[in-house]
Amino acid sequence: MHMFFEIGKIKIPGYGLFIAIGLLAVMLYLRLQKYYKELDFDTSLSAMLYALIIGAIGAKILYWITDPDSFMLIFNGDGPLLKRLQDSLSGGLVFLGGLIGAAIGIFIFLSKNKSIKLLPLLDIFAVGMPILQMFGRVGCFMAGCCYGACTDSKFSVVFPEGGLAPAHVHLYPTQLMGVVGNAIIVTILLLVQRKNKKPGKVFGLYLIMYSIGRFILEFFRGDEIRGIYGPLSTSQWISIPLLVVGIIVFIKASKIEYEEDIVNI
């Protein structure tokens, strides 16, 4: 279901539109956040750009790992090299690869801005990511990607012809489940952020909640292209160490007694 919004003769893909809306929502959050006063809007926006660029690379690399055929289009596809590159790059993205890439992007940013403290920046990043993904999952629903497994449940959705999801069959609405899950995560993180005095707890809590939610959600997915290795999907295997990291960060951040200690985690 490739849904488009039409403005005159211009067609705007629903997926791209909601990604753009998500980015604007993250920028609005960065503008309004006031819990980490040392991170002004310009600094936060610069860090976000690093996270987005490296995150996009990470998301594509993990997609290539889960679907090697899409990467091999570069070498055995049809047409000139430029077209083969375009065909390979026009495929999907894997969010967990983007999450890892975004973290790398933040560390690159910090290496160039040594006066910026790590944990407050990660806390802001932790709220921005689920905001972006919440809108991104709406885009996934409109494109039909990241679809669910077949089900007889009344809690299902049927996609029409022309999209990425199988048409005219009842599927779990995993994209919408992702929207609701990320909305819950954002709400909880914002509430914790208001009362939290220890940088790093919000980031640790995000990793804990997202990894658990993603691990569970994967059982309802039906798109095998995401990669299945043994009993679990690629995302489930990655969610396990992310959960461990989240628990460690949350516990260590909870023990911080002085603001000066936040640079030592």
Distance CA 31, CA 41 (A): 5
> Given phi > 0 = left and psi -120 to 50 = alpha, else beta, which region is 251?
alpha
Sequence-distant (≥ 6) Cβ neighbours of residue 118 within 8 angstroms: 110, 262, 263, 265
Q: Which of 8-12, 61-65, 104-108 has the lowest mean pLDDT?
A: 8-12
Q: CA torsion sign, 181 to 209 to 190 to 97?
A: negative
Q: What is the mean pLDDT of residues 168-173?
A: 94
Distance CA 249, CA 265 (A): 8
Length of the chain (residues): 265
pLDDT at 15: 72
Q: How far is Cα of residue 166 from the mean position of the Cα atoms in its chain?
A: 24
Tokens, residue 11 = 């067609």
In the predicted model, is pLDDT for residue 259 greater than 90?
Answer: no
| Residue 86 or residue 42, greater confidence | 42
CB-count exposure of residue 3 (10 Å: 0-12, 13-18, 19+): middle
Q: H helices within the chain, ranges in order?
A: 14-32, 41-66, 68-76, 81-89, 95-112, 118-143, 174-195, 201-217, 234-254
CB-count exposure of residue 228 (10 Å: 0-12, 13-18, 19+): middle
CB-count exposure of residue 166 (10 Å: 0-12, 13-18, 19+): middle
In the predicted model, is pLDDT for residue 28 greater than 50?
Answer: yes
| Residue 160 or residue 243, greater confidence | 243
Q: What pLDDT band is residue 263 in, cutting at 50, 70 and 90?
A: very low
Contact (CB, 8 A) for 40 and 33: no
In the predicted model, is pLDDT for residue 14 greater than 90?
Answer: no
pLDDT at 255: 81
pLDDT at 261: 42
Q: What pLDDT band is residue 5 in, cutting at 50, 70 and 90?
A: low
Write down the mean pLDDT value for the chain: 85
Contact (CB, 8 A) for 50 and 106: yes
